[in-house]
Amino acid sequence: MPLYPAADADLDPIAALVNSAYRGDSSRAGWTTEADYLDGQRTDPETLRRDLAAKSCARVLMLKDGPSEPLLGCVWLEPAKGDTWYLGMLTVTPTLQDRQLGRTMLAAAEAYVVEQGGKRIQMTVVSIRDTLIAWYERRGYAFTGETRPFPYDDEQFGVPRRADLSFIVMEKALV
């Protein structure tokens, strides 16, 4: 299943998809919910536009059955440092999360990074997401030992319901 580059017109449905998969009651239809420890939105179209404009090499790729088919998932990719790329916002429609679309999209994102000359992918995951961390570990990602603080003072990342949130950094060598 191919990934398609997102255009500006795609950012509204992408933001809606990301929010539905991670926040609020709709996210409980899948296993990626953050609703028990984060309120608020995960992203919005304006933030996506601003971030894409500020990071001209970043891409949001969409998972669809075909170019004019409905959005099934999305992923953020951007060159980071050297031959390492950052992967974020890997999202699948909550009601479709049992179809292995996440692993399909992750493999396609990794192939995209290799096509662009990347050799490693790095990501951050909320430290209490044991199930998600284990999912990435089964796909070859490993904890680097680096942690980053959660931005409690920036509601762009959500409104925390717990005081013990942080990010772990995970990485995978692609070649």
pLDDT tens readout for residues 11-49: 999 999 999 988 888 888 888 888 888 998 889 999 999
Q: How many domains in the chain? A: 1
Give the model's pLDDT for residue 102: 94
Phi and psi angles of residue 96, each rounded to the nearest 5 degrees, phi first: -110, 10
> What is the mean predicted confidence (pLDDT) over 114-142?
96
Encode 140-164: b = buried (16+ Cβ within 10 Å), e = exposed. ebeeeeeeeebeeeeeebbebeeee
> What is the mean predicted confidence (pLDDT) over 52-56?
94
pLDDT above 90 coverage of the chain, percent: 73
Cα–Cα distance for residue pair 59/120, rounded to 1 Å: 16
Decide if 140 contacts 107 (C-beta within 8 A). Answer: no
| CATH code where residue 36 lies | 3.40.630.30
Give the model's pLDDT for residue 23: 87
Residue 84 has pLDDT above 90, yes or no: yes
Average pLDDT score, the chain: 93
Confidence of residue 145 (pLDDT cuts 50, 70, 90): very high
Give the model's pLDDT for residue 146: 97
**pLDDT higher at 102 or 98:** 102
Domain containing 22 equals: 3-173
Residue 139 has pLDDT above 90, yes or no: yes
Give the model's pLDDT for residue 30: 84
Residue 80 has pLDDT above 80, yes or no: yes
Give the model's pLDDT for residue 156: 79
Give the model's pLDDT for residue 155: 83
Q: What's the pTM value of the predicted model, to 2 decimals?
A: 0.93
Q: Is the dihedral of CA 143, 145, 146, 151 positive or negative?
A: positive
> What is the mean predicted confidence (pLDDT) over 42-69?
93
Confidence of residue 69 (pLDDT cuts 50, 70, 90): confident
